Structure 1
Amino acid sequence: MRTAIYPGSFDPITYGHLDIIERTAGIVDKLVVAILTNTSKKPFFPLEDRVRFVRECTRHLPNVEVMSFSGLQVDLARELHADMIIRGLRFVSDFEFEFQMASMNRSLAPDIQMLFMMTSTEYSFLSSSVVKEAGRLGGDISKLIPPEIHDEVSERLRK
């Protein structure tokens, strides 16, 4: 059974994230979307909400599980017997950071593969930060995030 993890903060999940999730779910037996508890970042949405948002948006994918984690991605991959860690790329500038992370992960766990997926072109500009900024300023974010979470995210960003 081929298992992958897709780690991230998902603060909140966007169509760019969902694009990577759906495409990965189509090529693995099991995909675990692992929502990071990162003490160096102060997320806008609490962890419980981010987990709920991702579960709501991936309900249509039977081979996708959602969980939270803290610590090293490779440790989680080992714990879940995952073959690979999925990372999304939007720009060439993303690659530099991701390459460094992949090299570190490779030194820690040479048996776990890093798979980079290019975001679909229509989402190449999209990030959770863009969604939060547009939403805070009253912009229409309906084309940026899935409808399952749109109303709640929009309302909370406007407050």
Structure 2
Amino acid sequence: MTIAVLPGTFDPITVGHVDIARRASRLFDELIIAVAHNSTKTPLLDAGVRVDLAAHATADLANVRVTQTDGLLVDFCAAEGADTIVKGLRGGADFDAERPMALMNRSLSEIETVFIVGDNALSHVASSLVRDVARHGGDVSAYVPQGVSAAIASALSR
């Protein structure tokens, strides 16, 4: 059985993330979406909310489950029996950022990282841009799964 992990902060989950999850779910027996705490980021949405939104957005994918993780990704993968990390790439800048992490993860645990090239039509969709547009009162509903816009609006009103 092949198990892969799709890690990210998913703050918020976007249609681009769901596209990568959908396509990765066809390549592996099980895909675990690991909603991570990133110590270099201050998330807009609480981790539990991010887990719930990701689970709702991928509920139609029978072999996908969503969970929260902290700590080293390779330790999480080992605990879950995963042998592959999946990362989505929008362009060269994403590859430049992800390549060192993939090499470090392989150095630490021999786990491989598989890159899936994102849909070109979604290459402009990024969580940071979605948050920025929402903070300025813009409509982000085209860039996020159903229910995410409301969660963003609620977090911004606090």
Per the normalisation by structure 2, the TM-score is: 0.94
* TM-fit CA distance, 1:149: 2.4
Percent identical across equivalent pairs?
Answer: 38
Question: Match of 2:92, as an amino acid?
Answer: V
Question: Match of 1:35, as an amino acid?
Answer: V
Bigger shift: 148-157 or 67-76? Answer: 148-157
Runs (4+) of structure 1 exceeding 4 A deviation are none
Aligned twin of 2:147: 148
* TM-fit CA distance, 1:151: 2.5
Whether 1:131 and 2:108 are equivalent positions in the alignment is no
Does the 8 Å contact 1:135/1:158 carry over to 2?
no
Count of aligned pairs between the two proteins: 158
C-alpha separation between the residues in 2 aligned to 1:68 and 1:39?
Answer: 14
Whether 1:35 and 2:58 are equivalent positions in the alignment is no
Does the 8 Å contact 2:87/2:115 carry over to 1?
yes
Does the 8 Å contact 1:141/1:154 carry over to 2?
no
* TM-fit CA distance, 1:158: 5.7
RMSD of aligned alpha carbons:
1.3
Secondary structure of the residue aligned to 1:147 is coil
Unaligned runs of 5+ in 1: none
Whether 1:47 and 2:47 are equivalent positions in the alignment is yes
Does the 8 Å contact 1:136/1:158 carry over to 2?
no
Does the 8 Å contact 1:10/1:35 carry over to 2?
yes
Does the 8 Å contact 1:35/1:68 carry over to 2?
yes
Q: How do 1:69-80 and structure 2 match up within 5 A?
A: 69-80=69-80
Cα deviation, 1:85-112, whole Å, max 9, x if unaligned, reads 00111110111111111111111112x2
Alpha carbons of structure 1 residues 20 and 92: separation in structure 2 relative to 1, 3 Å: same
Does the 8 Å contact 1:138/1:158 carry over to 2?
no
Secondary structure of the residue aligned to 2:147 is helix
Q: How do 1:64-143 and structure 2 match up within 5 A?
A: 64-110=64-110, 112-143=111-142
Question: Match of 1:136, as an amino acid?
Answer: R
Bigger shift: 42-51 or 141-150? Answer: 141-150
Question: Match of 2:148, as an amino acid?
Answer: I
* TM-fit CA distance, 1:74: 1.1
